[in-house]
Each structure stands twice: as structure tokens, then as C-alpha cells.
A and B are shown apart, each in its own frame.
Chain A
Amino acid sequence: MLPDPNSLYGPLDPAPEAGYENAPPRMGFFTDTSVCIGCKACEVACKEWNGVPESGLDLLGMSYDNTGALTANSWRHVAFIEQPRPAGHRASPADVLGAPVDVGPDRPVDAGPQFLGMPGAQPPGRGSGAEGRTDFRWLMMSDVCKHCTHAACLDVCPTGSLFRTEFGTVVVQEDICNGCGYCISACPYGVIDQRKDDGRAWKCTLCYDRLGAGMMPACAQACPTESIQYGPLDELRERAAARVGTLHDRGVPEARLYGHDPNDGVGGDGAFFLLLDEPEVYGLPPDPVVTTRDLPKMWKRAGLAALAMAAATVAAFVGGSS
């Protein structure tokens, strides 16, 4: 079989491409953040099922997010983003409450709130379309490994520890991983991570062990509001498009999908999202690109360079003998 011309970039069904015959439909997650209530049942269920160790008892001050990020020890991560009123609109209680009130002479008038959202140079939501927002919003999103169509982590893994499953998901085999860490810098989302005490790379397996038994991944099973939906990716994409339509009809024009498009930089995600703001607000890269996209070009260039070098060498010898 000829390799798919899109084997490194562009739309692709990854399991057949990986060599599975009669592969089951590609399975994935659709995480609808518009119904997420931030209960973190997904984080707990994931840890319980997969035996993921504790990730630190630290109060981070990032709203109710004390997990911080997807790491080797947190395979689901619920982000909490507090979006205040538009910058400049909040000053003293007088402004907030609509009538002037004397709050004392020494009070700083524009002592703005400490921002509690995702880390960044400027508070998410304030730089991106906060104008026109009239009220406080608290966004919640359960983040997870995207199980990319073109998974750079897998492409760069020298041991074959990372592999593509028959469900089209990407899984680390912990008994093969040698802890080289190439996958970590390759991931365009910053998902896969090295565990400090054992050196190996860990991330969401989309509960590969449950899928094989016909069960739902632990996080989706635990989600009380069906914010995390699991199923064949085609169906999820249809459902997601319909949901966006419904939200637009109900006056939520900011609803948009993220990671659903097979034509994006990673060939579409196996785990995609419905967001209520720009991806950066949630700490997601706006335009992720598989880091191995340019591999053919690079090989071509490297090949050309090698050829040129060889030619030069030859020429040098030829020239030298002349």
C-alpha cells in the first residue's frame, strides 16, 4: 500500500494509516465547555482509574484551579477563567452599584482586581474581546490530550513506546518508554510530560484499557452534565456542529469549536472542544501545527544539502584532479 499523501499533514484516518485492517471507527472526546460546571469529577475519576499519583498540594490562586496544567500526574485539567467586567469599566463600588457612595478618602479608586485566570502576559478575556461584555463570566473547561490526527509525540518517539491504537488514539506504553523526552518538546499543546521521579513520559490514554472492553473512558463516565462526551469522532463532530448552531440561535454567538477541523495544523484532534472565547483564554494555542509537518520538506532540504555537499565534494575532487 502506498503511504497516504497526507500521512504527515492534512485530513487522514489515522488507524488504517497506521496499518490496522478493519479498524473500528475512530473514537474521541467532544468536550462541551458551555455545560461544564467545574466539578472536577473528570480529574478524580481519571486519577482513580488510571492510578495517577498526586500532583501537589498547592493552592495556586488561579481561581478554583489548583491543578494548574496537564502534566504527567494530571491527565485531565479543569481550567477556571474568571472574566471580569471590561477593563476600565470597574472602578469604585460607586460604578459597580450605580450610585455614588463615599468610601473614604484614602481608598485607591482603581485598585483593580488581582487576576486569577490562566497565566499569561495579560489577563485572558481582557485583551480579547472583553469590550461589549456586560457582566462577569466564569468559564470552565476540562482539558485533555488531543489525540491528534498527526501526533508529533508519536512521530518523534524513537522507541515505539508511543503508538497509534486501533481506535485512532495515541497511547504511551510505560514499559517501553525510556524517558528520552523527545515527545515532550514535540507536542504542540504542551500535554505530554515527564514524571519527575521515574523519568518516563505520561499522558491520557483515552482509557485504552476500558475502550477495549467496550466501556467509556472514566472521565466521560463520571461527567454529570455530559460536558465530556465520548464516541465515534464523526458522530461527535456532527453533534458538536449542531450544538454550536443551537447556542448561536440562543444568543451565544461566541460559541465556537476548537480542534474539530481535519484541515487544521494537526489534521484535527481526536479530542476537540466547544469554547466560549478565544482558545488563548483557556490556555490553548490558537493555531497548533504538528511539529513534524515540515519533516518531508526538511528531509528534502537535508537531501538536497547532502546532494549539494556530495556534488561539491565530487566537484572538489574532480576540480582537484583537473
Chain B
Amino acid sequence: MAEAHPVGFQWVMEAKRRGAKVFHVDPRFTRTSAVADAYLPIRAGTDIALLGGVVRYILDNELDFREYVVAYTNAATIVSEEFSDTEDGDGFFSGFDPETGTYVQDSWQYEGHEGSSGSGHTAQERDSAAGLTHESHGAQVGGQTRRDETLQHPRCVYQILKRHFARYTPEMVERVCGISQEKFLELARAWTENSGRDRTGMLVYSVGWTQHSVGVQYIRTGAIIQLLLGNMGRPGGGVMALRGHASIQGSTDIPTLFNLLPGYLPMPHHAEHPTLDEWVDSIRHPGQKGFWGNARSFAASLLKAYWGDAATPENDFCYGYLPRMTGDHGTYQQVLNMIDGKIKGYFLLGQNPAVGSAHGRAQRLGMANLDWLVVRDLFMIESATFWQNGPEVATGEIVPEECRTEVFFLPAASHVEKEGTFTQTQRLLQWREKAVEPPGDARSELWFFYHLGRKLREKLADSPLPRDRALLDLTWDYPTHGPQAEPSAEAVLREINGYDVTTGRPLSGFAEARADGSTAIGCWIYTGVYADGVNQAARRKSRHEQDWVAAEWGWAWPANRRILYNRASADPDGNPWSERKRYVWWDAEKSEWTGYDVPDFEKTKPPSYRPAPGASGTEGIAGDDPFVMQGDGKGWLYAPSGVLDGPLPTHYEPVESPVRNPLYGQQANPTRKMYAHPVNSVNPSPPQEHGQVFPYVFTVSRLTEHHTAGAMSRTVSPLAELQPEMFVEVSPDLAAEVGLTHLGWAHLVSGRAVIEAKVLVTDRLTPLRVDGRIIHQVWLPYHFGFEGLVTGDSANDLFGISLDPNVLIQESKVGTCDVRPGRRPTGPALLDLVADYQRRAGITPGQHAPAVTTDDEGKEHGAS
């Protein structure tokens, strides 16, 4: 966190100053480790084993916050008797379909809901990365469930959890992760001792955690611990996701993703959601508890914001205009489609896939096979010059004179040259003013898209074609100002907030959304950011002039709430768990919820409220159900649906690993998304043969000095000079083993690429003893590319393409490679070297590793 988020890290230092204990888990000793109280080096890709060990430690020693767990989580809920666990399936849950490599989730459901809830077969959900829709709400599940609050029923979630993690002992943690039992127990003790009525503990992760074939399950494991310890919905608790860019949170709220619409409404699928009713019902699930019961209002208001007067109840608010998904349109599928000539044009906006995305060579070859490519960036980045300066030019794979892609480079305005909001990881929107005019032809994104839309509409104005109606009927009327006709960002924010269609009055909260076309809302979760016609995101009242929650700094979605599910900061009767951790509570005298924050609960619903049988929507939420967006009002220790690779996290090895999974016959996540394409390959891992060709583990991440793919830092001398060359960090032991010298050259080879780097020999990398052998890990920054003041080979070139099944994020934080002293070959000899490694490793490009691995005796698994 100190390395990648130094500004946010000031609060960790502040907490430390007040006595907080900081633990840091990372394969490499970083700036964070330097100031942490304890540092645990971990084998990359084994976090579920470590955190699973903590879950077992909690359950085995009965250290869970029992009152919280019983009342607020689904620990007591009884699960279907058809469910079987990975402990009984050697790495498979019940319901695996080996044909598609996905699960049928019926058997995972709560008892009595086997047929009526959940997703059933999840193959299509995987293709559409449907897990992303759960960023703001839980998955569907029936409201009324059978519970055993003594937690003794063998099929209650608590007991299932206990059995599932029983083998994640300190010995197993040591064996899998390479973390000593002593260090592990120090962590487990500190975490549990600092949780409960009077204390809370916080889990912080950065986006590197998500870039694994089991990334979603990493976070699930963290969430299970935080629920067991009562650290959710309370001050000083939580699972904090530190996101990679200034407004990455904003870019999922109002998404730049193929599968989402604003406010986590799913993009409709052509076959599943032919009508508005079917689409809305797939979101709200009639009969379910919780706030998603109002999905129709959010959906209708969004369509009304898009198509204005043209959108009427009679024509389903122009639902027919919405684009439809037909399958996997994720970024990696698109790159392969570009290589195959199926995609003709591409926009890149502040993105540099030639350096920043996994399998850089595939990215560059794809972009070299387009008709046109538009790049909008601050500097001439690698993704704009790959056809001229890329490494494939040196190897002869791209010939500049023959490259068919026409590249349009459009200079972009930087964040100080335009106005708008950033949404940071706490869901806080902060308005920023324009400090200076953008230079030359540089323009804001808002300017670009507004005027692009305007020109397209002008060109199509006389079109009689029905297909053009969607564009022509759009409301596209933002006021502009200044010599460049810059659209008003405040007007856009007002539309995002939503307004009453008749009066134009800005809405003050999403409860005002209507399904009859009387409201238009650009993003329902942001409703309130422009309440009373005031830009609430622009509030800058100093924290020294208000209480510690600082509710008047910026604006947080939803409803300016700073901690989600904060009903859980009070006990079931509505009283604070302790004076020290008082946050939101029930005021019996006034008969309402009150506190420092905006209560995440219906204001006047008393703790004693119990829903009538069969009640659904918000009426179905009991007075002690704090997790109001979940279908059963409970925090999910066990996820009966929504997570595609299992209701509980399970340790699988990374797709590329030198180690046989010590826990299960199943080696890697069997549901991971794989692409059999000639450009793609995966290095062999046990039980496949020839894994020793790539004996070392590599991981990549950030340096403080550079930003992501380097476009904003390698181009600027005060930053570039601070980390001026590509390097690889190796332990002294590995340096001795391979023959590397400090500041000498090394090259690293995977089945995809070979890259070179200067060598830094350092104790900050340490060999780990895993399952009786030494595993060497090397670390690389992923910031370097071939443009800018400082250049170097790109670490992401080493990776292949394997994705997490839930959100289609690539596994780009761990892989295997060989490390050799000296510089890499150049020209065609470079391709020969990679080909030689592929031959020795038995890699056939275009074939992926088997999804299902049996144990070494060849026992059958999986299709139970």
C-alpha cells in the first residue's frame, strides 16, 4: 500500500502512531513491509491457504464474534442436502459440468430453495463476467430460510465452513505458502485479538489481489474472516479494496465494461432478456427480500435518461435500443478476435494495453490487424507506436510498411485540465476544478464524446434506417461553454443524479425513482450527489471543522453513507456493541436510527420488526437484518449463488505453478476461463510433465515512482529519473544459483516471450521452503515499455491469458519462467529461443492445460 498508494498510506501511519499493529503479506519486501510491524513473505498465489488458515484458527478456537455471527451472517442457515464439499470431491464442489468447465449451482442452495434460487447453470454467467453485477448487491436467493441458531446442525453454514477449512492448519499454511507457523500464528492472534465488541480490524488489499485465476475467492476468504470477527459495517473494520487508478471505482459505478450499465444494472443478453420485463425480473427476482425489489424504477429511469421523450411506458422506454450481449466480449476475447480479423476498429482511452495488459505480444499483434485505432492519451504511448517501434518489428512479425492499422492519435486533457469527479475506493465522489486550459489540441474525454456524438447525429439526421433511431433519439443536449465548446460537466452530474421529468427538480435520493417514466436517472446509486441542485461532490469542509466521519467532505454513494451496512455497528437490539465502537444506533425515544453516519437502514424500522411470512422487497428485511442488499439480509459466509467457482473459497494452485496442489487432486481452478488460441499458451504445471523447464515463480507489481503502464511517469523527468531502468529483483541465493550479478543483465523466458532486465540482488526477496523444497520467486515492475524518457522490456509480455471465471480478470500476478544471465537475443533469434523453450516444455500453442486434473494415481474426479 505504501508502494502503490503512498497518499492513502498516511492513514495507516496515523493508525500506527495511535498504536495499531500493521501486518504485511507480500511475496516481496516493499516499502509497506519496511514500516509494518510484521512482514510475511508468501508464495505468490497461495493467499486462500493463508486466509483459510485464519478461518480455521478462528473456528477451531471459537474466537468468532458469536452474537454477531449468529444474528447477522448466514452461519445458522441450513444448506441443501444435495451439496457436497471440495473436501469430499478432491477439489470439486457438487454440480461440476466437465463439458463446459462450470458449475450447476442448484445443489449449493439453502435447503428448500434448490430449484427456485440461484443461477442454475453458470456457463453463460461466466462469459458475461456476471459476478461484476454483485459489486453493489448480493446475488439472488430466496428470502425465507431454515436456520439453526445453535449452529449445531451438520448442514448449517457454520458447520460446513468448519469442515471445509479443517485441513487448513498452521502446518498446511507453512507447507503451501512458505510462511512459518510462528509468523502465521502471530498474524492470526493479532487479528482475532483486535476484533470483537470493543475493537475492530481491517483488511486492506490492492488490485494485485484480484489478478488471479481465483481472485474473487481471495476476497471472499477475507470477507469470511471479517464477518466471523464482526468487522463488517463497523468503524475501523471492513475489507478495503485499493483500486489502481484515481477513478477506477467510478469506472465500474458508471462502467467502461461490456457487461454492465450504470449502477450495476446488467447489460441485457440477447437470448435471456428479450423484453424489459424479463430483464427487470432477472435483476429483482420477484419474491426476494431487499432493496433490489425496486430494480424496475432504476431501469426505467436509466432508459428515460438515455432516450428522454422518446422513452415511454408504451414502448418499454426504448428498451429495444439497448445493445445486447451475445457472449464473451471481454477485453481478452476482443484481442483474440482482432488477431483473427473479427474486429475492425478500436478506441483506447487512457489505456496502454501494449504494456499494461497480459500477453503484450498478443495485444500488439491484435492492434496491428485493425482497420483503425483511435488512441487518446497524454503522450505518444506504446499502444500508438507499436506498429513502428514495437518489439515485433525487431522480430519481423510486424512490418511497418505493411501494417494495415490506421492509428489516430488524439491528445487528451489531463486531470488538471478538465473538470469532473473522481470516485475513490470509499465510493467518495470528489469534484475537481479545472486548473489550466489543456495545451494545443488536447481535449477532455467529455468534449470528445459529446462532439463525436453530435457529429454522428448530424451525419445520420436524415437516415430512414431503424437501426439509427437509437442514436438519433438520444438526449444529447448538454450546454457548452468557452472557445472549444466544452460541455458542462455539472450538467452531466445533474443528469447522473436524476431529476423529475416534469419539473426538472433534481432528485434527492434513489427512493424517489419511479418506474412510470416520471423520473430520469443516469446512475441510480449516485442519486443525491446533486440534491437541491447543489454539487455535493464539491463540498470541501475541512475535517478539522466537523466530526471524524467528515460527512461534509465530498459525497459518498449511496446516500452519502460512509460505511456500508452500518446497521451492523449496533447489536440486534439496536444498541452500540460498545461505547468505543459506537457508530449507528436505534434511538428508542425518537423511534429512529441515528448516529454519526447516515444509517444504512430504513430510518424508522425498529430492531424488533419481523416481516410477515411471504413479505418481499424492503418489507422482507427484518429489524436485525443489516445486509439490506442481500436477498436474505445476512452477510454471506457461504455464497449459495453469485460466485461461479464455489460457495466457499478453496486453495487452487495458480495456473502456472511449480508445485502440485498439496490439498486436492484438482490442481488449478477448474472453472477458470481459458482461451485455446494459437497465440496463447500456458507453461506446464504438475501433474503435467516438463514443469521444470520453467522452474521459477515470477510476480509483477508497482513501484511508487511509476504509474501503471508508465505513460504518465516514464515520460516526465522528475519521475523517470527516480526509477530509470527495467530491473528484476532476485534473492542472493537465486543470484548464486543462476549466476547473476548485481547490476548485470538477466533475461527471463516464459512460453510466450523473453524479456531482459538489469539485476538487483536483494535480501528483500527471499527463497521459500514449500512442501519440502525451495521455491525461488523473482519480482519485476510492470511499468516499462519502449517509449518515453526511460525504456525497457515489458514484464507483462511474459504472461499468457487465463482468467478468473467471475469477472474475467487475467491472472497476471503470478507465472512461471526461467531466469538466465546476460542479455536476451534479438531479432528472429528471440523467436527461436521461445520456440525452443516451448518444444522442451511440450507446449503446443493453441492448446490449453487440462481444466480437470486427477491425482497422480489417475483417480476420477469432478463430475459428481
What residues of chain A have their CB less than 8 Å away from a CB belonging to chain B?
35, 37-41, 43-44, 47-48, 54-59, 61, 63-64, 66-67, 82, 84-85, 90, 92-93, 96-99, 101, 103-104, 107-108, 111-114, 116, 136-140, 224-226
Cα distance A111–B742 when bound, in Å? 13
Which of chain B's residues have a CB closer than 8 A to the CB of A41?
6
Which of chain A's residues have a CB closer than 8 A to the CB of B789?
57
Is B774 an interface position by the 8 A CB rule? yes
Which of B341-349, B382-390, B758-766 has 4 or more CB atoms under 8 Å from chain A? Answer: B758-766
Which of B92-100, B129-137, B502-510, B722-730 has 4 or more CB atoms under 8 Å from chain A? Answer: B722-730
Query: Given A47-B718, A107-B737, are A97 and B767 also a contact pair (CB < 8 Å)?
Result: yes
Minimum Cβ distance to chain A for residue B423 (Å): 21
B34's partner among A38, A84, A99, A112 (CB-CB below 8 A) is A38
Contact assessment for A116 and B761 in the assembled complex, using a CB-CB cutoff below 8 Å: yes
Which of B7-15, B216-224, B350-358, B476-484 has 4 or more CB atoms under 8 Å from chain A? Answer: B7-15
Query: Given A54-B718, A61-B760, are A101 and B773 also a contact pair (CB < 8 Å)?
Result: yes
Main DSSP-derived SS at the A contact region: loop
Kindly state the interface size class of chain B when it binds its partner.
35 or more
Which of chain B's residues have a CB closer than 8 A to the CB of A116?
742, 760-762
Is B826 an interface position by the 8 A CB rule? no
Cα distance A176–B838 when bound, in Å? 66
Contact assessment for A57 and B769 in the assembled complex, using a CB-CB cutoff below 8 Å: no
Residues of B709-753 whose CB lies within 8 A of A: 717-725, 727, 731-733, 735-737, 741-743
Contact assessment for A138 and B34 in the assembled complex, using a CB-CB cutoff below 8 Å: yes
Is B35 an interface position by the 8 A CB rule? yes
Cα distance A48–B732 when bound, in Å? 37
Is B518 an interface position by the 8 A CB rule? no
Contact assessment for B732 and A112 in the assembled complex, using a CB-CB cutoff below 8 Å: yes
Contact assessment for A54 and B762 in the assembled complex, using a CB-CB cutoff below 8 Å: no
Chain B 1-44, CB-CB to A under 8 Å as 1, else 0, gives: 01000110110010011000000000001011111000000000
Query: Given A38-B31, A107-B736, A136-B29, are A48 and B718 also a contact pair (CB < 8 Å)?
Result: yes
Query: Given A98-B180, A99-B769, A136-B764, are A224 and B720 also a contact pair (CB < 8 Å)?
Result: no
Contact assessment for A37 and B29 in the assembled complex, using a CB-CB cutoff below 8 Å: no
Contact assessment for A96 and B764 in the assembled complex, using a CB-CB cutoff below 8 Å: no
Which of chain B's residues have a CB closer than 8 A to the CB of A44?
718-719, 722
Cα distance A138–B725 when bound, in Å? 21
Contact assessment for A57 and B764 in the assembled complex, using a CB-CB cutoff below 8 Å: no
Minimum Cβ distance to chain B for residue A144 (Å): 16
Contact assessment for A55 and B34 in the assembled complex, using a CB-CB cutoff below 8 Å: no
Minimum Cβ distance to chain B for residue A33 (Å): 10
Contact assessment for A225 and B719 in the assembled complex, using a CB-CB cutoff below 8 Å: no
Cα distance A82–B765 when bound, in Å? 12
Cα distance A140–B29 when bound, in Å? 14
Cα distance A298–B722 when bound, in Å? 44
Is B512 an interface position by the 8 A CB rule? no
Is B705 an interface position by the 8 A CB rule? yes
User: Which 9 A-B pairs rank lowest in CB-CB distance, beginning with the nearest?
Assistant: A113-B732, A111-B736, A114-B742, A39-B6, A138-B34, A59-B725, A57-B724, A37-B2, A224-B10
Minimum Cβ distance to chain A for residue B171 (Å): 13
Query: Given A136-B29, A225-B13, are A111 and B35 also a contact pair (CB < 8 Å)?
Result: no
Centre residue among B32, B727, B762 by max chain A CB count within 10 A: B762
Is B556 an interface position by the 8 A CB rule? no
Which of chain B's residues have a CB closer than 8 A to the CB of A92?
733
| A113 nearest in chain B by CB position | B732
Contact assessment for B704 and A57 in the assembled complex, using a CB-CB cutoff below 8 Å: no
| B731 nearest in chain A by CB position | A113
| A44 nearest in chain B by CB position | B718
Contact assessment for B767 and A96 in the assembled complex, using a CB-CB cutoff below 8 Å: yes
Cα distance A74–B722 when bound, in Å? 11
Centre residue among A41, A61, A66, A92 by max chain B CB count within 10 A: A61
Is B227 an interface position by the 8 A CB rule? no
Query: Given A101-B774, A225-B13, are A40 and B705 also a contact pair (CB < 8 Å)?
Result: yes
Query: Given A39-B2, A57-B789, A225-B9, are A93 and B722 also a contact pair (CB < 8 Å)?
Result: no
Contact assessment for A59 and B724 in the assembled complex, using a CB-CB cutoff below 8 Å: yes
Which of chain B's residues have a CB closer than 8 A to the CB of A56?
721, 724
Contact assessment for B722 and A111 in the assembled complex, using a CB-CB cutoff below 8 Å: no
Query: Given A61-B742, A103-B774, are A37 and B724 also a contact pair (CB < 8 Å)?
Result: no
Is B668 an interface position by the 8 A CB rule? no
Cα distance A35–B731 when bound, in Å? 26
Cα distance A225–B731 when bound, in Å? 29
Minimum Cβ distance to chain B for residue A49 (Å): 11
Minimum Cβ distance to chain A for residue B2 (Å): 4
| B16 nearest in chain A by CB position | A35
Minimum Cβ distance to chain B for residue A255 (Å): 14
Contact assessment for B774 and A108 in the assembled complex, using a CB-CB cutoff below 8 Å: no
Minimum Cβ distance to chain B for residue A92 (Å): 7
A140's partner among B34, B743, B774 (CB-CB below 8 A) is B34
Minimum Cβ distance to chain A for residue B354 (Å): 22
Chain B 563-606, CB-CB to A under 8 Å as 1, else 0, gives: 00000000000000000000000000000000000000000000
Starting from the known contacts A37-B31, A44-B719, 16 additional A-B residue pairs (CB-CB under 8 Å) come to: A35-B16, A37-B2, A37-B32, A39-B2, A44-B718, A57-B789, A59-B727, A63-B762, A67-B722, A97-B768, A101-B772, A103-B737, A112-B732, A114-B741, A136-B763, A138-B33
Chain B 275-308, CB-CB to A under 8 Å as 1, else 0, gives: 0000000000000000000000000000000000
Minimum Cβ distance to chain A for residue B424 (Å): 15
Query: Given A97-B769, A107-B737, are A39 and B31 also a contact pair (CB < 8 Å)?
Result: yes
Contact assessment for A43 and B760 in the assembled complex, using a CB-CB cutoff below 8 Å: no
Which of chain A's residues have a CB closer than 8 A to the CB of B724?
56-59, 66
B9's partner among A37, A43, A103, A108 (CB-CB below 8 A) is A37
Cα distance A14–B717 when bound, in Å? 37
- A selection of 23 A-B contacts at a CB cut-off of 8 Å is A37-B6, A38-B704, A40-B704, A43-B722, A59-B724, A59-B743, A64-B703, A66-B722, A66-B723, A66-B724, A82-B762, A90-B763, A93-B769, A101-B769, A103-B733, A103-B737, A111-B735, A112-B732, A114-B732, A137-B34, A224-B9, A224-B10, A225-B13
| A136 nearest in chain B by CB position | B763
Minimum Cβ distance to chain A for residue B33 (Å): 7
B704's partner among A39, A54, A84, A225 (CB-CB below 8 A) is A39
Minimum Cβ distance to chain A for residue B735 (Å): 7
Contact assessment for B718 and A108 in the assembled complex, using a CB-CB cutoff below 8 Å: no
| B13 nearest in chain A by CB position | A225
| A138 nearest in chain B by CB position | B34
Is B790 an interface position by the 8 A CB rule? yes
Chain B 616-657, CB-CB to A under 8 Å as 1, else 0, gives: 000000000000000000000000000000000000000000
| A111 nearest in chain B by CB position | B736
Contact assessment for A113 and B762 in the assembled complex, using a CB-CB cutoff below 8 Å: yes
Cα distance A44–B760 when bound, in Å? 24
Contact assessment for A226 and B31 in the assembled complex, using a CB-CB cutoff below 8 Å: no
Which of chain A's residues have a CB closer than 8 A to the CB of B767?
93, 96-97
Residues of B146-174 whose CB lies within 8 A of A: none
Which of chain B's residues have a CB closer than 8 A to the CB of A43?
718, 722
Contact assessment for A224 and B7 in the assembled complex, using a CB-CB cutoff below 8 Å: yes
Minimum Cβ distance to chain A for residue B173 (Å): 15
Contact assessment for A59 and B758 in the assembled complex, using a CB-CB cutoff below 8 Å: yes
| A101 nearest in chain B by CB position | B774
Cα distance A57–B29 when bound, in Å? 25
Which of chain A's residues have a CB closer than 8 A to the CB of B735?
111, 113-114
Cα distance A56–B721 when bound, in Å? 6
Query: Given A57-B724, A96-B766, A107-B736, are A225 and B10 also a contact pair (CB < 8 Å)?
Result: yes
Minimum Cβ distance to chain B for residue A246 (Å): 9
Contact assessment for A54 and B717 in the assembled complex, using a CB-CB cutoff below 8 Å: yes
Minimum Cβ distance to chain B for residue A301 (Å): 47
Which of chain B's residues have a CB closer than 8 A to the CB of A38?
2, 31, 34, 704
Contact assessment for B721 and A66 in the assembled complex, using a CB-CB cutoff below 8 Å: yes
Which of chain B's residues have a CB closer than 8 A to the CB of A98?
180, 769
| B6 nearest in chain A by CB position | A39
Contact assessment for A55 and B774 in the assembled complex, using a CB-CB cutoff below 8 Å: no
Centre residue among B35, B736, B763, B768 by max chain A CB count within 10 A: B763
